[in-house]
Amino acid sequence: MSQSNARGGRWFFIKNVEKMSRVTTALSSNAITGRTMFCHLDASANAISVCRDASQVVVAGRNIFKIYALEEEQFVEKLNLRVGRKPSLNFSCADVMWHQMEENLLATAATNGAVVTWNLGKPSRNKQDQLFTEHKRTVNKVCFHPTEVYMLLSGSQDGFMKCFDLRKKESVSTFSGQSESVRDVQFSMKDYFTFAASFENGNVQLWDIRRPDRYERMFTAHTGPVFCCDWHPDDRGWLATGGRDKMVKVWDMTTNRAKEIYCVQTIASVARVKWRPERKYHLATCSMMVDHNIYVWDIRRPFIPFATFEEHKDVTTGIVWRHQHDPHFLLSGSKDSTLYQHMFKDATRPVDKANPEGLCFGLLGDLAFAAKESLISSDPSRKPYPGGDRRYPIFFFKKPDPTEQFAHVSSALSVFETDLASNRMDWFVKTAQLYLLCGKPFAELCDHNAKVAHELKRPQVSTTWTMLRIMFSDPANLTASGQNLNLSKLGTLPLMNSFNMKESGAGMGPESRLERSKGESRQDNSHLEPGNLHISNNNEENEETEGSEGQAEYMFGDAELDDDDLYSMEHDNPTEELEYTLPQEAFPLRHEIMDNPAAPEHLQQDKSDSPHVSGNEAEVTCLTPIESFSLISISQPLFSPSLRPASSAP
Amino acid sequence: MASEKGVDVPRALVSGPSAFIPAEQTLKGELDQDILIESFLSLGRADHATMVMALHPAYLSCFLRAQHALLELDGPLPCHWRHYIAVMAAARHHCSYLVQQHSAGFLEAGGEESWLSGLQHAPIKLRSLQTLNRLLAHRPWLITQQHIQELVCPGAEPRWSLAELIHAVILMAHAHSLSSFVWGCGLNPEPDHIGGYTFQPASPGHLPHSPHSPAPEDGRQELVEGAMEVEVLMKRMVELQQQEEECTQEEMVTRFERERSERIPTAVVRGAPPDLLLHLVEDPEFRYEDFAPRGEQSPPTMRAQDYSWEDHGFSLVNRLLPDMGQLLDEKFQVVSNLTYHRMAMHEGVDTHTLRKALWNYIHCLYGIRYDDYDYGSVNVLLERSLKLFVKTMACHPEQTTARIYHSFWRHFRHSEKVHANLIVMEARLQAALLYTLRAITHYMR
């Protein structure tokens, strides 16, 4: 605020402050309350907007234009602005905006190219005020100036933006984007004269409202259309853009060249983006196609949404935060003809359901494994960061609300390198050559493939084929071929425990040279030796590792930590393992699968067996963990309402 | 030498790629050689469609890229299936040119010859596309999510995956619209097609020429008239751009409906499909039907603003068939921006309004309405003979005749008429896709 636009002049600045403070007061004196609720509209909405005091919302669409009051328990229809027996296309709205200073003033963008203003103070039933028909094509967006009562901006499919003075009958200036289709226009919240426009060809332009002859700046923000943009409410330089390329990007506009500082990859084209009030790093998005959810992202954690609202049954077309200083209420309209108020506390938190483990094979058989740090380390003394998180400033008096924080997840990443000498991938080629996938009855195919896998010393795969046969083939054949069908009996066999995932995890233990294969007359003994590395300071390459934290810092692991702690596993039952022999006749090993617990629960329950490889391949390939990274990350406090960190995360 | 051994040597019957356009017009030196070389290398031949399209090299290159991706690159459907689907689609418009092209492709890709002798020999899964094929070709506005559901939902037997289905849909729509182009440009059969060669020795002194070669331009009177038409059109385009006419909502709707239901008498009798195609077409009587005049049971209009290629179609296609959305998008963009700033004998003309009118007229014939377009312009800019051509091509391509081709835009270059053809072809493709993609979106909802 204190750096208000130099060009803007003192007067506007003062005015600005006055307005802001007035609004703020309004909130504190009359705190918003409510609950998650919805109401049915008669038609699908294209856009919504709230009035300044957050007490009413307007919904606009092709066949709807109504105002609802937001009451404690419900939406109440206040006014239908669509009047007349056969409403004209001027009522077919692509966008709507409620003036943030003049509570009786609304503007709509019509699909036929009209820009219409509405005066709720009119005594007549028809509230239409002004009608501007200067655009030749659909108007995609209208935007009131945040502080100037009479200034309205429009952006149209015809490639033009027009600025209207509502006291005049015609536009006062026209801005040519020199390109088809303006998708969004937004006045800067801080710079009195500046507005941003986004285009179908992927460009974003910055204009000075006094200079209609040419844009101040232009850059390509996305491949394909940029459907939306939004200025950060507090930070003058930040502009968020969303595109058909499924990305949300945050641009720092204070530098000479617009600089992309954050990028969030969503799963569908981004139709709307709105910064969350009072949260510097949060923004909400919704999509135009396929995906009906609303996401709130912490832009520093671009791989998983911070919160999700999943109520809508068709695409969400309009989102707006109910009050410009309240982060807890989000309103949304949708093609499913409903209007929702979402309470932030009722949002789904995807991170709670996310699997914090990641496993990936490298091209040459190397194996990387990332897991929650707490799972990896069984040593209680190994605190992630004993000194506490230094990024909580000492004067951070407000205790952070747990619902406003991403779960602290710190991950450890281990990389196991394949011993090249014994790295035999012949089985892969042979498997490809010998498998039969058609041409015989199903059961025979399974038997054949089971046999192939068995001969290639891949007993679990072999068993899987057998299972497949049992599960999906004719039961008559089954009884003929299987003798050990009594699964419960098999379940009591002593050898089963020894052949489970824990053991394969243990197989990678440093000191254990595991002869798991002896019963199977296997040649490639698992042979694993650990060596490891500790990585100090911020390890940026690891940001993208699944399960690790986006922008979190990776701290030096305790260097003195005994590496064996990481990988040594208690063998559940070494003696049992000795007893383990694979029946020569191979297949009836179904019980193995039955006995294997589902991986995630297993991991969570048992902290000791972490570098835990739950694939079949892992047992065949000989793994030597010559490098293992121990990375400990600490997530940072994700917001600080009262202060902006001087340095943001790297 | 072959003939000495008693082997019949075939002789090409046709000269030049098109029966409507004189060969020398398509093979002018101004052509972009590179693109022809490129297509020759990728297709193994420069077929007639390519040679005519080469009049617009910018378009040809993205057309070939999209077609290549559709037929050859990685995708959910096996190659021979793709060609067979194209055969099924082209057969709906009696386009023996494409049927033969894709039959050859089908066999090359290892397809079983018997399938080509009749639909009943093809796998039931392919045959289950017939309804969609029929609707897509003639009345795409009737496609609903039920049609999609029947093919895709669990329990459907045989079941299509969404990715396979969208691949098939694009293949069909591509073949339908390409059929329009083939008919609209009067493409000659390739030398190896039926009708493209003969074993009869040439009669001495008789130059091979196609059966329906253009009527020679004759009569000064007609030339003068033609020139007048161009002048009038130019004037109207300028007027339209300046015009600030306000008209009521009612009037706008009326104008749209008038264009949509205007009686453009396309050929009355539709011939039966040629023998070659007879058994590849099911229910040959099903065809485009004129929208009834307003008030009667006309199917609802689709509002372009509610489901557009840019906002919706693209994302869906790209999601289900990565990269295909991009390739189609490129094609649509190139076609809608293609201009040489000239019209007939005039240079430096902004033809935007004319191109827009053509595009929107075709979408109008398919029931797609733009809220922000005044359909009065269509009536002003598109003379009746042009409308006849466009409507025939877009809706009943198999009825295109040389006469229809030659009677519109008499003073324009052939390349400009081919340009019009491209617009019709792409607008038609987009319209058909939009309806199907909307149905798929509804199904996925």
Residue A572 in this model has a pLDDT that exceeds 70: no
Return the structure tokens found at B427: 């607008």
CA–CA gap between residue B49 and residue B313 (Å, rounded): 27
Q: Is A316 on the interface with B (CB under 8 A)?
A: no
Q: What residues in A contact B246, CB-CB < 8 Å?
A: 133
**Residue range B244-257, pLDDT digits in tens:** 566 677 777 788 88
Mark yes or no for CB contact B371/A89 under 8 Å.
yes
The number of angstroms, rounded, from the C-alpha of A388 to the middle of its chain's C-alpha atoms is 28
Q: Write the CA distances from A109 to A101, A195, B212, integer angstroms.
A: 19, 18, 53
Q: Which of A244, A293, A317 to mutate to test the interface with B (most CBs of B within 10 A)?
A: A244
Q: What is the pLDDT of residues A492-502, one digit of tens each?
A: 334 333 333 33
Q: Cβ separation of A88 and B248 shorter than 8 Å?
A: yes
Which chain B residue is nearest to residue A62, measuring alpha carbons?
B306
SS3 A129: strand
* CA dist B32 → B20, B51, B60, B68 (Å): 21, 10, 10, 20
Residue A268's closest chain B neighbor by CA?
Answer: B315
For residue B308, what are the contacts with CB-CB under 8 A and spacing of at least 6?
B434
Q: Where does residue B114 rank: exposed (0-12), middle (13-18), buried (19+ CB within 10 A)?
A: exposed
Nearest CB partner across the interface for A138, out of B305, B314, B329: B305
- Name the DSSP letter for residue B4: G
- Is the CB of residue B425 less than 8 Å from the CB of residue B181? yes
Beta bridge pairs of residue A251: A239, A260
Q: Is the ipTM of this complex over 0.90?
A: no
Which among A291, A407, A402, A296 has a CA at the least distance from the CA of A355? A407
Smallest CA–CA separation between A136 and chain B, in Å? 7
Element holding A298 (H helix, E strand): strand A294-298
Cα(A509)–Cα(A624) distance, integer angstroms? 10
Q: Which of A112, A181, A290 sits opposite B444 (nearest CB)?
A: A290
Render each residue's pLDDT in chain B as its tens digit; 445 residues. 555 666 776 666 667 778 788 777 766 555 567 777 777 777 777 788 888 888 888 899 899 999 999 998 888 999 999 999 999 999 998 888 899 889 999 999 998 888 988 888 899 999 999 999 999 999 899 999 999 998 988 877 788 999 999 999 999 999 999 999 999 988 888 877 776 666 666 554 444 444 444 444 444 555 566 677 788 888 888 877 776 566 677 777 788 888 877 777 665 555 666 666 777 787 777 878 776 655 556 677 888 888 999 999 999 999 899 889 999 999 999 998 888 888 877 888 888 889 999 999 999 989 899 988 888 888 888 888 898 899 888 888 888 888 888 888 888 888 888 999 999 999 999 999 999 999 999 998 8
Give A152 to chain B, closest Cα distance, Å: 21
Q: Sort out which chain A residues have CB atoms less than 8 A from B444's CB and list them.
A: 290
**CA-based nearest distance A151→chain B, Å:** 24
Instruction: Please name the residues between 124 and 163 in chain A that touch chain B, using a CB distance below 8 Å.
Output: 133, 135-138, 157
CA B428, CA B176: separation in Å to the nearest integer? 9
**Neighbouring residues of B166: CB distance < 8 A, sequence distance ≥ 6:** B316, B317, B320, B321, B324, B440
Rounded to a whole number of angstroms, the CA Rg of chain B reads 22
Which chain B positions have a beta carbon within 8 Å of A90's beta carbon? 249
Report helix, strand or coil for A354.
Answer: coil
Is B185 tagged catalytic? Answer: no
Q: Does A369 touch chain B (CB under 8 A)?
A: no
CB atoms under 10 Å from CB of B107, counted, come to: 15
Positive/negative CA dihedral, A515, A517, A522, A525: negative
**Distance, in angstroms, between B332 CA and closest chain A CA?**
13
List, as ranges, residues 210-249 from A with C-beta within 8 Å of B: 224-225, 227, 244
Cβ distance B311 to A62 less than 8 Å, yes or no, reads no
Contact list, B316 vs chain A (CB under 8 Å): 289-290
Contacts of B212 (CB under 8 A, 6+ apart): B19, B186, B401, B402
State the DSSP H helix or E strand holding residue A619, giving kind and residue range, or none if neither: helix A617-620
Of A110, A135, A289, the CB nearest to B315: A289
Closest CA to A640 of A410, A394, A346, A409: A394
The backbone torsions φ and ψ at residue B442, rounded to the nearest 5 degrees and listed phi first, read: -65, -40
- Nearest chain B residue to A92 by CA distance is B371
Closest CA relative to residue A116, chosen from A75, A77, A71, A81: A81
What is the C-alpha to C-alpha distance for residues A458 and A619, in angstroms, rounded to an integer? 9
Rounded CA gap, A285 and A319, in Å?
8
- Options B62, B95, B185, B364, the catalytic residue: B95
Which residue type occupies A23? V
Work out the burial of residue A23: count CB atoms within 10 Å of its CB; fewer than 13 is exposed, 13-18 middle, 19 or more buried: middle
In this predicted structure, the answer to whether residue A1 has a pLDDT above a threshold of 70 is no
Q: CB contacts < 8 Å between A and B, how many? A: 64
Q: Which of A235, A152, A227, A151 is nearest to A189 (CA)?
A: A235
Tokens at residue A596, please?
Answer: 């294997």
In angstroms, the CA B302 to CA B291 distance is 13
pLDDT single digits (tens) B295-342: 556 677 888 888 999 999 999 999 899 889 999 999 999 998 888 888
- Cβ atoms of A62 and A43 closer than 8 Å: yes
Please tell me if residue A538 touches chain B, with a CB cutoff of 8 Å: no
**What is the structure's pLDDT at A481?**
44
Give residue A85's pLDDT band: very low, low, confident or very high (50, 70, 90). confident
Q: Using alpha carbons, select from A115, A116, A47, A124 the residue that is nearest to residue A79.
A: A124
Q: Maximum CA pair distance of chain B?
A: 78
Contacts of A88 in chain B (CB under 8 A): 248-249
**Interchain contact, A288 vs B316, CB within 8 Å:** no
The rounded distance, in Å, linking the Cα atoms of B60 and B39 is 9
Buried/exposed code over A314-327 (b: 16+ C-beta within 10 A; e: otherwise): ebbbbbbbbbbbbb
A205 touches chain B (CB under 8 A): no
List C-alpha distances in Å: A464 to A444, A501, A589.
Answer: 14, 15, 9
| Cβ pair A86:B306 closer than 8 A | no
For residue A418, what are its two tokens?
């394949």
**Are the beta carbons of A231 and A186 closer than 8 angstroms?**
yes
> For residue B182, what is the enclosing H or E element?
helix B162-184
* pLDDT band with cut points at 50, 70 and 90 for residue A584: very low
Closest CB to A268 among B250, B315, B329: B315
A88 touches chain B (CB under 8 A): yes
- Say if pTM beats, i.e. exceeds, 0.95: no
Inform me whether the C-beta atom of residue A504 falls under 8 Å from chain B C-beta atoms: no
Of A112, A244, A288, the CB nearest to B372: A112
Separation between Cα atoms, residue A26 and residue A19, nearest integer Å: 11
A86 touching chain B per CB within 8 A: yes
